[in-house]
Amino acid sequence: MRVDAAEARGLASALLVQFGAPSHHAQLQADLLVEAQLRGHPSHGLLRLPRLLERMEKGLINPAALGHHTWQSASMLIVDGQQGFGPVVAMNALAELVGRAKQTGISIAGIRNANHLGMLAYYVEKAASEGMIVLAFSTSEALVHPFGGKQAMLGTNPLAIGIPAGPSPFVLDMATGTVSMGKIHDHALRGEPIPIGWALDRDGNPTTDATMAKAGSLAPFGAAKGYGIGLAIELLVASLAGSALAPDVRGTLDADHFANKGDLFIVINPPAQPHLSQTLATYLADLRLSPPQQPTHPVTIPGDGGQRRRTASLQHGLEIDADLWASLSGALAAPSPIATQDVYS
């Protein structure tokens, strides 16, 4: 079904307040979920709300926490997230980083003990719109097997890069698995096979059965090179945030554990370069206009698809699972336990 985005944001926010969140924290967390839904990433959308509420109810989320900041040195911020909402802790840290990068050129924050960040594009796009370059990394439960391996040993370890460019910032946001576990669950739900190369089953054998893959592991994207990048993120985040490594990570998918993954933001204040924004815009336009392999599929820039889906969703309404919407609406009308759906990276 389709609902109005503002209505969805309002409902999500009201539910978060009902479960104990301060109003502006609820609004930010709700905005994250709705923005992911708008761009066609339901696995990072409202599907996660019941799990967040469940975690709040169990005391696994401290909805008032802003994160405790320690400036390790002039440009390095270490954040104990105090089990706050991922977006609240991250946006609070980012605001500090942007201020500091304006003085020192570059700043970095390692964040531990914060809840799930949601869609990384949200953060880097915001800062890039203010003229900052941002690199963002996060870790997760072990879901991805090493290149040539059979066992989930790495997180889906997403990265995002935002770079100011006219007319709108360049925003890359990707996980380092070939596909998300969400896509595997979607296929399992619809009884559809998955291509060989997406995932292994529990015993480490290639499988086309999505249900078998759910209990197995995802392939790293880009073979050995993609595995290398996922592993680098694993080590980078742990080294700077003091967070757990994938096999020990808990609390981004479940409702039983505190979150112990890590997040990392690097903010860079680029030196002024006359015409740079125009030069980048021209180059990106040239890429889009460059000859495509299939005439019906023009070359795109990362983020194009999400922006197209966002525009359409804002115009025609937000696509959302009818049961999920009914369950959320019902919970607000008459507070009661909400049916929790599985969440996955």
Among residue numbers 293 through 332, which ones bind its own copies (CB under 8 A)?
Answer: 293-294, 297-302
- Cβ neighbours, 10 Å, residue 62: 21
Mask for 242-261, x = binds its own copies (CB under 8 A)? x--x-x--------------
- Applying CB under 8 A, the span of 61-69, 100-108, 190-198, 253-261 interacting with its own copies comes to 100-108
Q: How many residues bind its own copies (CB under 8 A)?
A: 73
**Tokens in use for 231?**
């592993």
Q: Which of residues 110-129 bind its own copies (CB under 8 A)?
A: 110
CB of 319 to its own copies, least distance (A): 22
Q: Choose, by CB under 8 A, the member of 224, 312, 314, 322 that binds its own copies.
A: 224
DSSP 185-202: HHHHHHT----TTSEE-T
Q: Rule CB under 8 A: is residue 292 a binding residue for its own copies?
A: yes
Q: Rule CB under 8 A: is residue 291 a binding residue for its own copies?
A: yes
CB of 320 to its own copies, least distance (A): 26
- Cβ neighbours, 10 Å, residue 150: 16
Q: Rule CB under 8 A: is residue 107 a binding residue for its own copies?
A: yes
Q: Rule CB under 8 A: is residue 281 a binding residue for its own copies?
A: no
Paired sense of beta strands 262-268 and 76-80, if any: unpaired
The nearer residue to its own copies, 38 or 152, going by C-beta atoms, is 152
- Sign of the dihedral defined by the CA atoms of residues 97, 89, 318, 180, in that order: positive
Q: Rule CB under 8 A: is residue 235 a binding residue for its own copies?
A: yes
The answer to whether the beta carbons of residues 345 and 140 sit under 8 Å apart is: yes
Q: Choose, by CB under 8 A, the member of 167, 190, 191, 273 that binds its own copies.
A: 273
Task: Please tell me the total number of residues recorded for the chain in this structure.
Answer: 345
CB of 101 to its own copies, least distance (A): 9
The nearer residue to its own copies, 285 or 339, going by C-beta atoms, is 285
For residue 248, give the 3-state DSSP assignment.
Answer: helix
Return the bridge partners of 264, or none: 110, 137
Q: Choose, by CB under 8 A, the member of 17, 66, 174, 188 that binds its own copies.
A: 174
Q: Please state whether 27 falls in left (phi above 0), alpha (psi between -120 and 50) or beta.
A: alpha
Instruction: Return the closest-CA partner of residue 328 out of 23, 15, 2.
Output: 15
- Applying CB under 8 A, the span of 29-37, 58-66, 158-166, 311-319 interacting with its own copies comes to 158-166
DSSP 25-62: HHHHHHHHHHHHHHTT-GGGTGGGHHHHHHHHHTTS--
Q: Choose, by CB under 8 A, the member of 42, 146, 216, 251 that binds its own copies.
A: 146
- Applying CB under 8 A, the span of 20-28, 31-39, 145-153, 324-332 interacting with its own copies comes to 145-153
Q: Choose, by CB under 8 A, the member of 287, 314, 326, 339 that binds its own copies.
A: 287
Q: Choose, by CB under 8 A, the member of 43, 138, 269, 327 that binds its own copies.
A: 269
CB of 251 to its own copies, least distance (A): 19
Instruction: Return the closest-CA partner of residue 19 out of 65, 67, 44, 54.
Output: 54
**Tokens in use for 266?**
């690097």
Q: Rule CB under 8 A: is residue 283 a binding residue for its own copies?
A: yes
Q: Rule CB under 8 A: is residue 75 a binding residue for its own copies?
A: yes
The nearer residue to its own copies, 59 or 105, going by C-beta atoms, is 105
Instruction: Return the closest-CA partner of residue 71 out of 95, 100, 98.
Output: 100
- Applying CB under 8 A, the span of 32-40, 73-81, 82-90, 207-215 interacting with its own copies comes to 73-81
Rounded-to-integer distance, Cα 64 and Cα 50, Å:
18
Q: Is 207 exposed, middle or buried (0-12, 13-18, 19+ CB in 10 A)?
A: buried
Q: Which of residues 4-63 bind its own copies (CB under 8 A)?
A: none
